[in-house]
Amino acid sequence: MKKFIYFSGVISLIIFLCGDIMKINHWPGANLTVSGGLGSFAVLFLPLAVHAAWRTNGKRHLPLYLAGLTSIFINVVAAMFKICHYPGASILLLTAIPLPFMLFLPVFLYYHVKGDAIPLKSFLGVMFLLLYMVVFSALLAVGTGQ
């Protein structure tokens, strides 16, 4: 099962990167390739990875996993909409920017304060990941007034 999860993640990211190269060069089929890569990442890889982590760590972290999955899923879909210039991308992206801070961060901090075995390395890693997501989403949202 883990091999399939890793394989699906790598394949979806390779498809996405090929779509990005096609989009930069203005080749036909770029939107379909980008949508296929990010779509398979969001619909196939993310739920499978969260399910595997949930089965490994038990049911006590279920709200944390669901909050993380929801936040990442909406951010990936918003980025896909913005990259492919689909309608509603600006609204979706502006909704996705604060979502990790309103949904995921309180749940994560609850589990961190509760002392449920979240080491300092993981805490700092999550904080840097959230910072990266904000900067990336904000840079995508810069051109929303087109």
Burial class (CB in 10 A: 0-12, 13-18, 19+), 130: middle
**Dihedral over Cα of 137, 133, 15, 53: its sign:** negative
The token pair at 139 is 């840079």
pTM for the predicted model, two decimal places: 0.79
Amino acid at residue number 117 = A
pLDDT per position in the chain (146 positions), as tens? Answer: 788 988 999 999 999 999 989 999 999 999 999 999 999 999 999 999 888 888 887 777 788 888 889 988 998 898 899 888 889 888 888 888 888 888 888 888 887 777 666 677 777 888 888 888 778 777 766 765 44
pLDDT at position 94: 84
CA 13/CA 40 separation, integer angstroms = 9
So what's the pLDDT on residue 143?
60
What's the confidence (pLDDT) of residue 39? 92
pLDDT (0 to 100) of residue 28:
93
* Domain boundaries along the sequence of the chain: 1-57, 59-146
Which H or E element spans position 53? helix 46-57
Predicted pLDDT at 19: 93
